[in-house]
Amino acid sequence: MSVILSVRQLTKLYGNQRGIRDIDLEIGSGDIYGLLGPNGAGKTTILKLITGLIRADRGMVSLFGSDITEQFEQGMRRVGCMIESADFHDFLNASQYLRFIARFYPEVTDKRMDEILERVGLFAVRKDKINNYSTGMKQKLALAAAMLPNPELVILDEPTNGLDIEGTVMFRELVRSYSEENGTSFLISSHMIHELEQLCNRVGVIFQGKLHTEGHVSELLVHNQSLEQFYIRELQKAREGNPVA
């Protein structure tokens, strides 16, 4: 299995000294990797650094063999991402918004835009103004934009926020189908630990800006009743080792 994302000694500290320190992480082709951690642990910071939205203090990020500090476009052209709340031009409709996104991907066709809108359940309302969309519908549109160019790696930050049960099931089926049929890799940060247990083959626990532990879900569940149980135990261990936390 080839490595498509490699992170080495990645560090970013803010003025209050919070952030991340010396993160090492690898994702291989076909991996579905879940990032777990409390609020403020550094999950979103990691995703922003990988996608070039913020600059690291030190460390390296390599996407498909390209160092993003030197070959950003070459690395990111095979990546789709949805990080934090998506911003939309609310006066557009969904089809117009995806057509705007498609300007950066010459290979994307109108057929592909309709296809991904159908997959996320927005095809019937594709001509409605985004301003009239619910939070969940906007989340689906952001997911559609991330998946639009058929990326080889998809990076998602809390992708099920605002989704109802039907939308959550849609998301789960979408990730599974792209992983199984296309070999697409996913890096997902989420508090929906039951969803990650069903989706991910690997997980990592972030605590106070450091990668506390990681492992294969199948192996972790041999010694734990659930991924949630594993996660809670690991947080307890981390806090015992950092009593001021």
Of 109 and 15, the structure prediction assigns the larger pLDDT to: 109
Of 106 and 86, the structure prediction assigns the larger pLDDT to: 106
Is it true that domain 3-78+151-241 has CATH number 3.40.50.300? Answer: yes
Predicted model pTM: 0.93
**Whether residue 165 has pLDDT greater than 60:** yes
pLDDT for the residue numbered 1: 64
pLDDT for the residue numbered 89: 81
Summarised one tens digit per residue, pLDDT across range 24-67 is 999 999 999 999 999 999 999 999 999 999 999 999 999 999 99
Sequence-separated (6 or more) residues with CB below 8 Å from residue 102: 108, 112, 113, 148
Sequence-separated (6 or more) residues with CB below 8 Å from residue 154: 79, 80, 81, 146, 147, 178, 184, 185, 186, 187
pLDDT for the residue numbered 122: 97
User: What single-letter DSSP state applies at residue 87?
Assistant: P
Q: Among residues 231, 245, 130, 239, which one has the least CA distance to residue 190?
A: 231
Q: Which residue has the tokens 């911003």?
A: 87
Residue extents of the structural domains in the chain: 3-78+151-241, 86-150
